[in-house]
Amino acid sequence: MAICNLDLPTQVTGLSLGSPEQLAGELAITVANALRDAIDSHGSAVLVVSGGRSPVAFFERLRGQELDWSKVTVSLADERFVPVGHPDSNEGLVRRHLLQGPAAKARLLGLYHAAPSLEEAARLADAALAELGRIDVLVLGMGEDGHTASLFPASPNLELALSPGCRQRCLPMQAPGVPRQRLSLTLPLLASAHLTLLALQGQAKLATLEDALAGDDVAAMPIRAFLRRPLEIHWCP
């Protein structure tokens, strides 16, 4: 299915849903099916999710899905350099909205570490991610500037984070708005996911997607790195 007549590359599929509630439900079913398949095929599943405002309804629908959560590891595509109890924490968001009920049995591999600097926190996250293993499902969001995870245009370290040879799994990044200090998984790790989903809501993000599809400068719009790989976009007005 196309998304609002957007001309998608062959490796990108698009699903248009009627409302944010339908998008959350559809995404939850898609992710749960992929996690069950991973558990059936290799005994465990790794889910990497994004934070921000949009995923809350998706998290709450996903936690209601029947699966063996004790075999699931949840991690984050990016994090803000704030304590987990801070309202801006993505780990806090996942703990509050996803890891509840049966889903609380999942293991959470967070990125935040209390460290004297963002750089040191990124080094600690990078070391912790060594045990993540293969990402079975990656759920990305996107900002209206075309960032994804915390791969922001003009951020220091962006070029390194996007390079195919980047050896770090996690790097310190700077967002244009608060909270500025971020931790982001790098492209090689993110792009290694077996299934990558991009969840978008609203006309503004549809326009951003259209801009991203019309150009090829990845540094200007890092989401472009994912549009040239197999990707499933779920969008609603």
Ligand X SMILES: O=C(O)[C@H](O)[C@@H](O)[C@H](O)[C@H](O)COP(=O)(O)O
Q: Is 110 in the site for ligand X (CB under 6 A)?
A: no
For the bound state, the minimum distance from the C-beta of residue 54 to ligand X, rounded and expressed in Å, comes to 3
**Residue 142 or 171 with smaller CB distance to ligand X:** 142
For the bound state, the minimum distance from the C-beta of residue 57 to ligand X, rounded and expressed in Å, comes to 11
Q: In this chain, which residue has its C-beta nearest to ligand X?
A: 141
Return the structure tokens found at 216.
């090829």
| Contact partners, residue 37, CB within 8 Å, separation at least 6 | none
Question: What distance in Å separates the CA atoms of residue 166 and residue 199, rounded to the nearest whole number?
Answer: 26
**Residue 51 or 172 with smaller CB distance to ligand X:** 51
Q: Which of residues 128-157 bind ligand X (CB under 6 A)?
A: 141-143, 148-150
Q: Is 54 in the site for ligand X (CB under 6 A)?
A: yes
For the bound state, the minimum distance from the C-beta of residue 217 to ligand X, rounded and expressed in Å, comes to 19
Q: Coil, strand, or helix at residue 141?
A: coil
For the bound state, the minimum distance from the C-beta of residue 15 to ligand X, rounded and expressed in Å, comes to 17
Q: With b meaning 16 or more CB within 10 Å and e meaning fewer, what string describes 10-33?
A: eebebbbbeebeebbbbbbebbbe
Dihedral sign computed on CA atoms, order 104, 72, 35, 14: positive
* DSSP conformational letter for 148: B
Is residue 221 within 8 A of residue 142, CB to CB? The reply is no
**Closest-CA residue to 27 (of 73, 77, 65, 70):** 65
**Residue 50 or 196 with smaller CB distance to ligand X:** 50
Q: Coil, strand, or helix at residue 77?
A: coil
How open is the CA angle 52-54-59, to the nearest 5 degrees?
95
For the bound state, the minimum distance from the C-beta of residue 69 to ligand X, rounded and expressed in Å, comes to 22
Q: Which of residues 22-51 bind ligand X (CB under 6 A)?
A: 50-51
Q: Is 52 in the site for ligand X (CB under 6 A)?
A: yes
Count of residues interacting with ligand X (CB under 6 A): 14
Q: Which of residues 188-217 bind ligand X (CB under 6 A)?
A: none
**Residue 67 or 197 with smaller CB distance to ligand X:** 197
**Residue 76 or 103 with smaller CB distance to ligand X:** 76
Q: Which residues bind ligand X (CB under 6 A)?
A: 50-54, 77-78, 90, 141-143, 148-150
